[in-house]
Amino acid sequence: MDSKVKDVMQECTTASDEERVTFPQVVMKLMEAGVERYYADLQRHEKTYYLPNGESHVVPAKPVDAQAARDFSPSAVDAAVRAVQAGKIKYQEFCTRIMAAGCIAYLVSMAGRRAVYYGRTGEYHVEMFPAAS
């Protein structure tokens, strides 16, 4: 894997953790670098980025100061998504809220234009990317 692509992956993870970028900015940078999707494991504190050819790269992420709830609440995940999209909260608060809603990980597919949030027993909530304005 090209070192420049790895640098983009690292920067997107760090900038998100430091709340210097928004989700749409991250998606744009990753798409420009050729990243197809990434998996954010909230309990392992890492993101795994995938290229279309199957190559992957793991980047450590800032731990979220929260424990994932036992039960998964799609409506609470949706509320956190709406709050971060509206700019009412930033990334760290978003992660805390989705973990409180029982989310342990999420997958972002640039190719599929969606994010899928997962609970402990396989429950999930799918959020399609907003339409470009």
Amino acid letter for position 86: A
Length of the chain: 133
98/72 Cα distance (integer angstroms) = 9
Q: Could you report the per-residue pLDDT of 66-94, keeping only the tens digit for each?
A: 999 999 999 999 999 999 999 999 999 99
- pLDDT tens digits, 9-63: 999 999 999 999 999 999 999 999 999 999 999 999 999 999 999 999 999 999 9
* Ordered alpha helix ranges (H), the chain: 3-17, 23-33, 74-85, 91-100
Domains of the chain, CATH where assigned: 3-122 (3.30.1810.10)
